[in-house]
Structure 1
Amino acid sequence: MTGTSSRSAGMKDETLDEKKPMTAGEEAWDIAKTVLIAVAVTLFVRFFLFQPFNIPSGSMKPTLAVGDFIIVDKIDYGYSKASLIYPLTRLPGEGRLFADTPERGEVVVFKNQNDRNRDYIKRVIGLPGDTVQVMHGRLYVNGQQLARTPVEGEPDCDGYPGGQLYRETNTDGVSYVIQECRGDDYEYDRTPLITVPDGNFFMMGDNRDNSLDSRTPTVRFVPEHQLVGRATRIAFSVDGDKSRLWQVWKWPGAIRYGRIGDKVE
């Protein structure tokens, strides 16, 4: 019995001896591998699947508010240089892999080539070959006036009185809420008849009187290779007017809990 116990103890000691402590160099390499794998997974998801974006302006009110953080699906429309990060977005070439066409009414993030390739977010109004015109605030696509009905609620017009929310329905039956803050005869409420060129899209913001979009020279037409992806959901939302970065005690009150998880429609 004594001999058996000795052999068992010896085997136990032998097993413990097999797991040697790592050297400082091995520990550093192990940590580096973990970090590299995490970075690789993050970059893969960001480049090819989903990417977060922050909404810095009110051009998409009331659909999106300043301080919303949205998730953009990069799979739907395929991949181009716009899918990459700066400065790779300035690479030559206009191709797109696995390309698919956005549908009218979808909310899209794109690189604005007329504004140093900055990220813009607008709604798709016209597809290649469509005609688009705005007359007295009413939108016409391919000669058909889009239906527009008033809805209840207060538009966020940044101090301008007399605004109105409307539900607009496009020619494909897709509806969404827009706002008019300065009536139907403001400078963006009149355009000539515009034909969307092949391979391009006509975009407009839902805040119709305060949006730099395809009605203006700042954007004009958006080429297919400048599309980044489709906005899908609001991942997080914070009201920047209620707190500052250093005001930690105000953070909970600044979060718009009711917007988190909302679908972008």
Structure 2
Amino acid sequence: MSTLFQRRYQENTRLQSVCKMIVNIIMVIVSAYVIVTFMCDRTIISGGSMQPVIENEDTVLINRFAYSFTKPKRYSVAAFKLPGSNSSKVYVKRVIGLPGEKIQIKDGHVYINGEQLKDDVFTDTILTAGLAANEITLGKDEYFLLGDNRNNSEDSRFAGVGIVKEKNITGSVWAIVGPVKRLGFVK
């Protein structure tokens, strides 16, 4: 009798373990879905201005709450919309200039407060300085954003985009979710 009892006890214990594992997996999936649905936006990138980090037609997740409690930091990849635009187009660029800084592009390089930006992700010579040919002083809520592919990017150097106000930044790009071969976090 005790052998039968032990066998049934072991079977029940295994069944409980399997059920717990299934419940845990379901909870992880539901939690991930809720986080992505309510905290993130998803957009498909159009263009090669952020190559090689983000490619044309990559699908990225944008953390909408990333800048709710902190300010954008230099080199973070931010998503923003143009003010007054009814378009749903989301721009994705790298934060280079922070509020209060003086930005200039001369001799093909970015200068911040008169000093050349040393640890920039872009190492080639910038061919077009645009609006930044003359020194620009950013206001207390303004950011200067550039694409990683500087010589093929519509960014803060050009009047079509210009300086980006903090209120127009919609979030931080944190992951590439498509295509599958490019899955990963954005650096």
* TM-score with structure 1 setting the length: 0.53
Query: Which residue identity is paired with 1:130?
Result: E
Of 84, 108, 115, 1:137 maps to 108
Counterparts of 2:100 and 2:46, CA distance in 1? 31
**Structure 1 residue 263 and structure 2 residue 172: aligned?**
no
Task: Give unmatched runs, 5+ long, in structure 2.
Answer: 1-29
Aligned to 1:82: none
**Structure 1 residue 228 and structure 2 residue 170: aligned?**
yes
Aligned to 1:101: 71
**Structure 1 residue 198 and structure 2 residue 169: aligned?**
no
Aligned to 2:155: 213
Contact 1:137 1:190 in 2 (8 A): no
* TM-score with structure 2 setting the length: 0.73
Q: By how many angstroms is 1:222 displaced?
A: 1.1
Counterparts of 2:36 and 2:126, CA distance in 1? 43
Counterparts of 2:62 and 2:93, CA distance in 1? 13
Contact 1:55 1:67 in 2 (8 A): yes
Name the SS of the counterpart of 1:232 in structure 2. Answer: strand
Percent of aligned positions with the same letter in both sequences? Answer: 32
CA RMSD of aligned residues (A): 2.5
Give structure 1 regions of 4+ aligned residues with deviation exceeding 2 angstroms. Answer: 114-118, 183-190
Name the SS of the counterpart of 1:229 in structure 2. Answer: strand
Task: Give unmatched runs, 5+ long, in structure 1.
Answer: 1-37, 79-98, 148-168, 171-175, 238-255
**Structure 1 residue 53 and structure 2 residue 23: aligned?**
no
Higher relative contact order (CA 8 A, sep 6+): 2
- Within a 5 Å distance, the mapping from 1:233-244 to structure 2 comes to 233-237=175-179
Aligned residues: 155
Q: By how many angstroms is 1:100 displaced?
A: 2.4
